[in-house]
Structure 1
Amino acid sequence: MGLGDMISQQLVERRGLREHHTGRTLTMVSLGCGFVGPVVGGWYRVLDRLIPGTTKVDALKKMLLDQGGFAPCFLGCFLPLVGTLNGLSAQDNWAKLQRDYPDALITNYYLWPTVQLANFYLVPLHYRGDPASTAL
């Protein structure tokens, strides 16, 4: 997640090295190591127990459960956690979640179903966190 933030700041926001927000990058690294990695890794293990198998149909079932059940809940936890780490008050964080959640979830559905379908079909469980982390 730290690499993703660096790419965002340099290529999307075009901050340049002097204006790079190192604290933001470190926050994203902390989030990745302390929240996203453990939660997503645990979810993948649970999902593999719920839907064992590696066929195309199994991958489709996993993707549907992941995107229909896990993604909305994960996003609903991730966004307020980022807000808290960025110093938002509880009231401001709630307002930001209400404002940003619908668009974030819709945007999620443009990318993640395809990524996860490939992830669940092509990538062994013990490597599965890597493509998802890279796409973040």
Structure 2
Amino acid sequence: MKKRILRYEYLDRYIRQRLLMKPNSAKFVATKVAADGLLFGPLDLLVFFSYMGFSSGHSAQQVKEDVKRDFLPALLLGGTVWPVVQIANFRFIPVRYQLLYVNLFCLLDSTFLSWVEQQGDAPWKQWFKSITGVDD
């Protein structure tokens, strides 16, 4: 939890000071949403699915296969929801309360990701591979 607080504070400070953007401007919010989604989103998914696999007693090879199976559908589906959540977060919520706001959605996201992981090799996951052209 402390790491996430530091992540938002660092991101806010970095964009204000290094990129010299006015807080709460459209460019400022878009930059924070892009950084959160493109940098932290994929890393969070990788950690989540790896942890779930290892904590379930799967081998490293099985965890790798599961991550390959689950990562893309979760990333694409999450990529439709999280930007909207984060736009509201970064635009309207003060930095010190952003963690509380986002943790409400993290609870829902963890539930969703657990469901994705438990679906195994469901046909709808194969559909994501077919539309993106990604093969095993």
Q: Specify the TM-score bucket, using the shorter chain as the normaliser.
A: 0.5 to 0.7
Residue 59 of structure 1 is aligned with which of 5, 29, 34?
Answer: 29
The alignment covers a number of residue pairs equal to 100
Aligned match of 1:130: 100
Q: Deviations over 1:43-97 (max 9, x none)?
A: 2122112212222321111001111222112211221112222222212111100
Aligned match of 1:89: 59
Q: Distance in 2 between matches of 1:91 and 1:38?
A: 31
Secondary structure, aligned partner of 1:64: helix
TM-score by length of 1: 0.67
Q: Equivalences for 1:108-119 in 2 at 5 Å?
A: 108-119=78-89
Residues 1:39 and 2:3 aligned together:
yes
Deviation at residue 38 of structure 1 after TM alignment? 3.3
Name the Cα RMSD after superposition: 1.4
Unaligned regions of 5+ residues in structure 1, if any?
1-36
Secondary structure, aligned partner of 1:51: helix
Q: Distance in 2 between matches of 1:81 and 1:42?
A: 22
TM-score by length of 2: 0.67
Which structure has more relative contact order (CA 8 Å, sep 6+)? It is: 1
Q: Distance in 1 between matches of 2:9 and 2:55?
A: 27
Aligned-pair identity (%) = 29
Q: Deviations over 1:23-46 (max 9, x none)?
A: xxxxxxxxxxxxxx2332222122
Unaligned regions of 5+ residues in structure 2, if any?
17-22, 107-136
